[in-house]
Each structure stands twice: as structure tokens, then as C-alpha cells.
A = this chain, B = another copy of it.
Amino acid sequence: MPQYNPPLRDMQFVMHELLNVVDELKLLPAHADIDVDTINAVLEEGGKFASQVIAPLNLSGDAEGCQLDKSTHEVTPPKGFKEAYKQYVEGGWPALSCDPEFGGQGLPLMINQGLYEMMNSANQAWTMYPGLSHGAYEALHAHGTPEQKATYLPKLTSGEWTGTMCLTEPHCGTDLGMLRSKAEPQADGTYKITGSKIFISAGEHDMVENIVHLVLARLPDAPAGSKGISLFVVPKFKVNADGSLGERNPVFCTGLEHKMGIHANSTCQITLEGAVGTLVGQPNKGLAAMFVMMNAARLGVGNQSLGLTEVAYQNAVAYAKDRIQMRALSGPKSPDLPADPIIVHPDVRKMLLTARAYAEGGRALATYVALQLDKALASDDEDERKECEAEVALLTPIIKAFITDNGWIATSHCMQVFGGHGFIHESGMEQFVRDARINMIYEGTNTIQSLDLLGRKVLANNGATLKKFGKKIAAFVEEEGVVEAMQEFVNPLADIGDKVTKLTTEIGMKAFQNPDEVGAAAVDYLRVVGHLTFAYFFARMAKIALEKQGSGDKFYTAKLATARFYFAKLLPETAGLIRSCRAGLTPLMEMDEALF
């Protein structure tokens, strides 16, 4: 069975040495009291919960899956899931970064990001049960009426209830403008909602007494398309005025999806048969309200693959040190053994270091963005809030798509380190690969993310936000460009920065001629910009490691080696990506549809 050790040292390095998060957070009135010890203590305890409580349920949960009783519409998750969730609630974890007004602890989102990375490493399928709640919490917190907030937020904060996002229907996922679920206004101001939803994560289970569905549906007089969609909150059990649970609402799980991975999460087909709900936000403005959840969810999905990358790496390293097979080409390294541990083989190391670099780069980027999000939410300076918000918007599709694509590569490499044993369920490695695969699809496919980045976040404002982020990189290059030991990092960083600038301009020009050029370039482009962000953070981390490597703490030696590996072996991928990107639209559109 796979093992998991929370990477606390690297998290602390990123938070306290790379990003100095306490200095930044203390400037925010809501977090004025934060300190290093609190952050570390929370993460340490969170790591215990992840590694000791939910990690042992990951492999068994995958094998067992969820069971639906079709007569009662009740779903039973795998053994141990309910008990683990109880511990999670008792530990107060759901409330970590929720609003104190509703019972939350009010800690920075950045800490929650760290907690979730660890829980995703331990058990992605389990973590989706509380994970979806957080999205529902945020949508209601941002758009709910005072009554809705009072009814739902304390329960979501405590974790006594969980939430879902009911968006997708069989005929539409990406294109929610086509959705058909209907909401009929009732005399009492509520709505009766009817429709069929699919792919609803954590859609039904017995771990809590109530489930809060956030449902997209169409009002009778709604305009066609995406401008006619409204958001409703539809509880599994109606809630009486005194907060007690009333009768069962006809929102039923009518089927469980048979999936490639995340078997232990109940991915439901949900049928609403005139279920009673209330409107969240304005009529016909449901997509905007839903995007509050969606943006958080996209960061959360990147975090899922970050977690899987880390845990796959840890287990592949353990196996590579233990498994003996063949001799090093340069001669025996363990002559006393019948063969050398496979970690002596350069390509095994290449696979391991790829996963390691993707985990460390992803952690730096995701933690940075979580910090910017805390500032976007809690700064008392409106300009700063807006600037941070724009940067988070820019980097969100990169976190979603780049980290999940990397996670697919990394988990597959780590499985490959196990050879044939990696293909066997008991190793746990193939599960990481299967679980990682969904992260490239849900909450907007990675193609959609790339269009969001290039079309909406970059070209739509003439690259203004990207330029601002680029200025931070340029300042670092300027500052460190004179340091001899930093040349090996700063030069390629400056180079990829220049190339991104040129490429952006070039695509922008082409897109004037034909908007489809955006679609042709976007996926390659996102990956190039993703590498730019990783190159930036690896260069910054290398700077610290260079300064501190004399301390005798081997952590810095390893960090430096990982950064060098990243620049030598992973960043070069951009050379091919840029060429492919520049080849443009014609090679994609030349073939007539009928000839495919």
C-alpha cells in the first residue's frame, strides 16, 4: 500500500522563505495576528489527519467504490469514509478559512491550500466530499440572501452539511448556455426545479445529515443561451424556520457513473422532480454567481494534481531505492547486492526528478496564488485588491491546466518506475494515474482553460495583466542578472520571458485576422506560460538555496539540484511548443471535416 509523508519542510520553505507569507498576511486586517508557529502547527496537524486518517482509506476506497440503493436513492461510500469525515468535522477542519461570522476560524486561504494539498495526496476521492462544500459555501457567501446565509453557512462551515455543484447535463457541460433544467416560481417565493444533471461529485452520500445542492436552471421567461441561467440552492432535506430538517426534497441520485478513477467519490446522476429551491443572486445571472464557485474549484483541481504528483513521487522514490535490478552502466554501485537499486539508472532519476520538480514548482505557484487570493479578499486597499484579483484570474487557468497536465505526466512516470508492478492495483500507483486523469477534464477542460488564459485573460486586455506579472519577473532578472552564481537560472528565465512576450504579440496579430488562431495556439501557449511561471519560481528558490546551502542543511542542496534539473531537462520543452504554436491554424483546418 502506498505511503504518504506530508512535505512540511517544503511547504514551510515556500511559505516562510520564498514568499514570506506572514509579513504579507499581517498587513491584512483580518489576519493581523497570524504567525509562523500557527501556520506550521495547523499544517502539521492537518498532515497527521491526511496521512493517518484518510491515506489508509485510499486504496481500499478505490477497490470498493460507492453503492447506490436504487429504492431509497441513498449512496453508501466505501468503508471508513463516514468515520473519517466525522473526525474531520470534530477536528474543526471544515471551518479553517471560513468567515468567523458563520462559525469559521478565519484563517488565510493559503493555509487551506496547504491542508488540501495534503488531503489530495492522501485521498483525492475522499477529499472531494468536503472539497465541493467549500465551493457551495463561497457561492452562498458571495451571493446568498441574509436568510440563505443564516440557514446554510453555519452548517457548511461546521461541516455538518456538505454541498454540491449541479451544472452539467447529458447534452451540455462546457456549453452551459444549452442547459434545460427548469425552475417554476411558486407563490411563496420559492421555485420548483425539474431536470437531469450528470457528473455531480459528492452528489449523494450518508456522511452528513443534509446536502446543499447549488443548481443551475432556467426560469420560464429566461432568454435563450447563457444569459438565461439562474442559480438556486436546493437542499436534500428542506430546512424549517428553526433550522431543523423538514421533509425530503425530490432531488434524487438516480445513478452512479462508472468511472476510470476517483471510484470512491459518489459521482451522481441527479434527477430533480420539482425539488424546492430558492434563488441565489439575480435572476438570469446564475453563471456569474456560479463562477465564484468555479474559480475556487479550478484552483482546487490544480491542487488535486499537485497532491497526486507529490504522493506518486514519494512512493516511486521509495521503490527506486528498494528495488534492485541490473547494474549501473558505469559499473556496480552496490557490489554486495545481486543488483543495484534502480535509482542508480539515469532515466529512473529523470522520471523521479520530473515528478519532484513538478511538485515543487506547482507548490510554489499554487501557494503564491493562494496568498494573492487572500490579499484580493482581505486587503483594505482597493487597488491592491483589484490587482491581486487580476493576477489570480490570470494564473488560475495555468494552475488548473498546467499542474494537471504535469500531474498526468508525473504520475505516469512514477508508475513507470515500478515497471510491471506499477500496473497492478495493489501498488497504488495506477490509481494515482487514473485519479489524475479527471483533473484535466472537470471544472472546464484544459482546452477551455487555455482559451480562458489566452483569449480572456491575456488578449482581451492587450496583455496588461500578463505584463504586470512579467514586470515582477523582469525586476528579478534585473536584480539577479549581475550575480555570477545566478546566471544559470536568470539567463534562461529572461530568455523564456522574452519569448512569451514575442509569442503573445504574434498571436495577437494573427487573431485580428482570424479569431480561430486563438484556439489553435492556446494549449501550446498555456504550457509555455506555465513554464515561465515555474522558471520564475525555481529561479527565486535557487537564489535562496544558493544563499543558504552553506548552512549544512541538505534541504538547500536538494532544492538547488531540483532547480538545475528543471532548467536543464523540463524547460527545454518550450522550444518545441513555441514552434508548434507558431505553425498556427492552417495545419489544423486544412483537412475538410468529411475527410477525418
Contact = CB atoms under 8 A, between A and B. Distances in A.
A419 interface: yes
B416 A596 contact: no
Interface stretch (A28-36, A380-388, A436-444): A436-444
B515 A330 contact: yes
A45 B592 CA distance: 30
Nearest to A331: B515
A447 B344 CA distance: 14
Contacts of A352: 596
A482 interface: no
A345 interface: yes
A475 interface: no
Contact of A445 (B260, B330, B419, B577): B419
B596 A568 contact: no
Contacts of A455: 329
B561 A572 contact: no
Contacts of A73: none
A406 interface: no
Interface string A554-596: 1001100110110011101111110110010111111111111
B258 A424 contact: yes
Contacts of A317: 596
A419 to B, nearest CB: 5
Nearest to A518: B329
A559 to B, nearest CB: 9
A441 B576 CA distance: 26
Contacts of A564: 587, 590
Given A424-B258, A595-B557, A565 B579 contact: no
A302 to B, nearest CB: 17
State the majority secondary structure of interface residues on A. Answer: helix
Contacts of A261: 423
Contact of A350 (B321, B328, B577, B588): B588
Contacts of A196: none
Given A424-B259, A425-B260, A596-B317, A173 B325 contact: yes
Nearest to A565: B587
Interface in A243-261: 257-261
A175 B329 contact: no
Given A317-B596, A425-B258, A520 B441 contact: no
Which of A346, A515, A579 has the most chain B CB atoms inside 10 A of its CB? Answer: A346
Contact of A580 (B178, B326, B569): B569
Contact of A349 (B63, B514, B515, B589): B589
A320 B588 CA distance: 14
Which of A173, A554, A591 has the most chain B CB atoms inside 10 A of its CB? Answer: A591
Given A329-B519, A576-B577, 20 more contacts: A173-B325, A174-B326, A198-B420, A259-B425, A259-B430, A260-B424, A321-B593, A343-B593, A346-B516, A346-B588, A346-B589, A347-B523, A353-B588, A416-B441, A433-B437, A557-B595, A565-B587, A568-B586, A572-B576, A574-B576
User: 6 tightest A-B contacts by CB?
Assistant: A572-B579, A576-B576, A568-B587, A260-B430, A561-B591, A346-B519
